[in-house]
């Protein structure tokens, strides 16, 4: 075993020798390994004696320096260390590790004032040679002398008369040492000087500015720079981004409106703000921003997109306000029809047909009208392929609503083939898996799901994993198939909006199969039905039955998150929602919902004021 380790050490030594650009004598490798072995075994005197002999040959220094110098410091042999370093520096004046360690030696012997003076002189000695300045700074960094690394890079800026020099290096040091204000300034200035850096900088800031106080400080920084340099658009872009991170969609709207006016653009920034607001269920602000685009960008390509999107936002608001008001559905259908009649054929009108079709199918049971609208899109020319495929999936859904699963299977298979290895293709495969599951063909469903677990879309992969576990956990034994088949059939009833029948059969399952492994799934489905009926108290009780099974239950974290969501968006009890989110964060720290729950909790607490 030791021989293997020794061989690896020798390879490491060869690598170090190459870094130092000094050839090592092959005959000393064994002695170096032996000295290291003495050190590892705690035989300090033997190690020191052998290192001292090895140090007499300059070629050995790259191989032994760290261990030997650290050993001299640990044994407080400061005179020996001073003698050794003086000789090393004299023979290797361009190798900064020895000079940096001279400063470390001064600090170890309680001579910090001398260390500071020595390092200051060492930095100034590099003159205007930027390569040497970089090398010295990097050696300070490796020695974890971060303040001196910063001082060296700043000296380089001074002598080069370039305030942007070494920005990336400085930003990384500030990031490592958690100095967020100077880190932010370096990264932002990097992006201001070179627009190619902007995507990278945004990604870094997103990963490092996660706390409310970080975002508030960053917002103040940006406002200050906008006041000083209003012409630099990147500050405004980042301010929009900051408001979006804080879910201050109105604030993001104000900034995006100003930036779009200044750039004389088509409202692209505003459309992104509206889209983000809709994604986070801030329907009122989403609708307000889309309406602004409609009123102020009549000649922009975004005008037609916004007209479609604002109806879509209203649709999401209606469909997520329970119980759904059928008068609101009728108004949405009329709005889509008006758009189709008034706007020239475009992506907006094609999407309007698709959305209108699904309203007819899901809420009016007017399947013929829905199918006609979708076929108008799929059979039309010059329509994006993805939109056609989406409409085919919707057609498949409608045939499933009509209890014609064979037609659905054919359409899903067509989309799988035409959209192979794409998100829309994976979505079609997931639909096929669900269809097999609904009809009790669990083996075929499992085959589809095993493929989808590797899907590039996280949401699809998660859905596939959840359904796969549900099937495998409840079909392991032949005796368990009957309850699973009944459960899947009820799930299909819910898809078909036959909620009353589904609820009745779910209650019957609880009586027929007391204590069954599907009990939590049954309660979870019941909560969905009660929620759609507007019976929020019953929905809460059903979800609490799932949570009571314990945090190890696969649905427990989903149920706990749903409880908080109910309080926030349906019952409108902010304090109860905050309490529920806080309990969720405490009880389920590994849940996929943690990040979203944390953001919602902070928003409710007022960390991100509008």
pLDDT score for 263: 87
Tokens of 506: 């779910």
Q: What is the pLDDT of residues 543-589, one digit of tens each?
A: 999 999 888 889 999 999 999 999 999 999 999 999 999 999 999 99
Q: What is the pLDDT of residues 7-53, one digit of tens each?
A: 444 444 444 444 444 444 445 788 999 999 999 999 999 999 999 99
Q: What is the pLDDT of residues 198-231, one digit of tens each?
A: 999 999 998 999 888 898 899 999 999 999 987 8
Question: Ranked by mean pLDDT, which of 197-201, 278-282, 539-543 comes out on top?
Answer: 539-543
| Mean per-residue pLDDT, 86-101 | 95
Q: What is the pLDDT of residues 547-556, one digit of tens each?
A: 998 888 899 9
pLDDT score for 102: 96
For the cut 90, the answer to whether the pLDDT of residue 477 exceeds it is no
Q: Mean pLDDT of all residues in the chain? A: 91
- 422-428 long-range contacts (CB < 8 A, ≥24 apart) are 423/455, 423/456, 423/457, 423/460, 424/386, 424/389, 424/390, 424/393, 426/452, 426/455, 426/456, 426/457, 426/460, 427/393, 427/457, 427/460, 428/389, 428/392, 428/393, 428/396
Query: How many CA atoms, within 13 angstroms, populate the side-chain half-sphere of residue 62?
Result: 19
Whole-angstrom Cα distance, residue 153 to residue 184? 17
Cβ contacts of 492 within 8 Å, gap of 6 or more: 400, 438, 439
pLDDT score for 480: 63
Q: Checking phi first, is residue 144 left (phi over 0); if not, alpha (psi -120 to 50) or beta?
A: left
Confidence of residue 2 (pLDDT cuts 50, 70, 90): very low
pLDDT score for 504: 97
Confidence of residue 608 (pLDDT cuts 50, 70, 90): low
For the cut 50, the answer to whether the pLDDT of residue 308 exceeds it is yes
pLDDT score for 12: 46
For the cut 50, the answer to whether the pLDDT of residue 310 exceeds it is yes
pLDDT score for 4: 40
């Amino acid at each position: 075993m030791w021989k293997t380790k020794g061989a690896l050490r020798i390879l490491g030594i060869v690598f170090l020798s190459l870094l130092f650009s000094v050839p090592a004598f092959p005959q000393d490798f064994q002695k170096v390994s032996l000295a290291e072995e003495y050190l590892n075994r705690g035989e300090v005197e033997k190690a020191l004696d052998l290192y001292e002999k090895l140090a007499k040959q300059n070629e050995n220094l790259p191989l032994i320096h760290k261990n030997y110098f650290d050993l001299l410091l640990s044994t407080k042999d400061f005179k020996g260390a001073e003698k050794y370093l003086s000789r090393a520096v004299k023979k290797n004046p361009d190798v900064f590790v020895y000079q940096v360690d001279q400063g470390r030696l001064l600090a170890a012997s309680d001579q910090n004032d001398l260390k500071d003076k020595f390092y200051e002189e060492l930095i100034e000695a590099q003159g205007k040679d930027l390569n040497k300045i970089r090398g010295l700074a990097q050696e300070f960094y490796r020695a974890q002398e971060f303040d001196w690394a910063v001082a060296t890079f700043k000296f380089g800026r001074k002598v080069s008369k370039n305030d942007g020099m070494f920005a990336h290096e400085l930003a990384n040091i500030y990031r490592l040492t958690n100095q967020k204000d100077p880190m932010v300034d370096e990264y932002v200035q990097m992006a201001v000087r070179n627009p190619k850096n902007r995507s990278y900088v945004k990604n870094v800031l997103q990963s490092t500015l996660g706390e409310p106080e970080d975002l508030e400080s960053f917002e103040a920084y940006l406002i200050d720079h906008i006041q000083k340099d209003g012409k630099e658009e990147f500050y405004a872009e980042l301010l929009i981004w900051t408001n979006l991170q804080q879910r201050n969609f109105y604030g993001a709207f104000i900034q995006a409106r100003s930036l779009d006016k200044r750039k004389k653009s088509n409202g692209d920034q505003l459309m992104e703000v509206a889209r983000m607001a809709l994604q986070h269920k801030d329907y009122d602000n989403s609708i307000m921003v889309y309406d602004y685009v409609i009123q102020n960008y009549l000649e922009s390509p975004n005008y037609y997109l916004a007209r479609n999107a604002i109806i879509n936002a209203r649709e999401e608001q209606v469909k997520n306000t329970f119980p759904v008001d059928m008068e609101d559905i009728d108004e949405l259908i009329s709005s889509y029809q008006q758009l189709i009649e008034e706007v020239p054929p475009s992506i907006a009108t094609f999407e309007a047909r698709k959305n209108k079709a699904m309203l007819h199918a899901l809420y009016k049971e007017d399947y013929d009208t829905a199918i006609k609208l979708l076929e108008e899109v799929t059979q039309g020319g010059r329509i994006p392929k993805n939109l056609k495929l989406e409409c085919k999936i919707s057609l498949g859904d409608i045939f499933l609503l009509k209890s014609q699963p064979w037609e659905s299977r054919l359409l899903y298979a067509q989309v799988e083939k035409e959209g192979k290895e794409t998100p829309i293709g994976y979505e079609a495969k997931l639909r096929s898996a669900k269809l097999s599951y609904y009809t009790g063909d669990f083996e075929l469903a499992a085959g589809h799901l095993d493929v989808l677990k590797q899907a590039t879309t996280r949401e699809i992969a998660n859905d596939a994993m959840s359904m796969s576990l549900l099937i495998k956990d409840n079909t392991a034994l032949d005796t368990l198939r009957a309850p699973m088949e009944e459960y899947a059939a009820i799930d299909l009833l819910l898809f078909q909006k036959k909620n009353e029948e589904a609820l009745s059969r779910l209650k019957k399952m609880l009586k027929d199969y007391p204590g069954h492994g599907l009990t939590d799934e049954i309660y979870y489905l019941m909560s969905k039905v009660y929620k759609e009926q507007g019976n929020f108290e019953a929905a809460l009780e059903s979800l609490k039955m799932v949570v009571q099974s314990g945090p190890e239950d696969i649905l427990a974290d989903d149920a706990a998150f749903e409880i908080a969501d109910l309080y926030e968006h349906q019952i409108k009890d902010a304090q109860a929602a905050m309490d529920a989110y806080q309990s969720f964060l405490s009880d389920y720290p590994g849940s996929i919902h943690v990040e979203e729950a944390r953001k919602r909790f902070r928003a409710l607490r007022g960390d991100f004021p509008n």
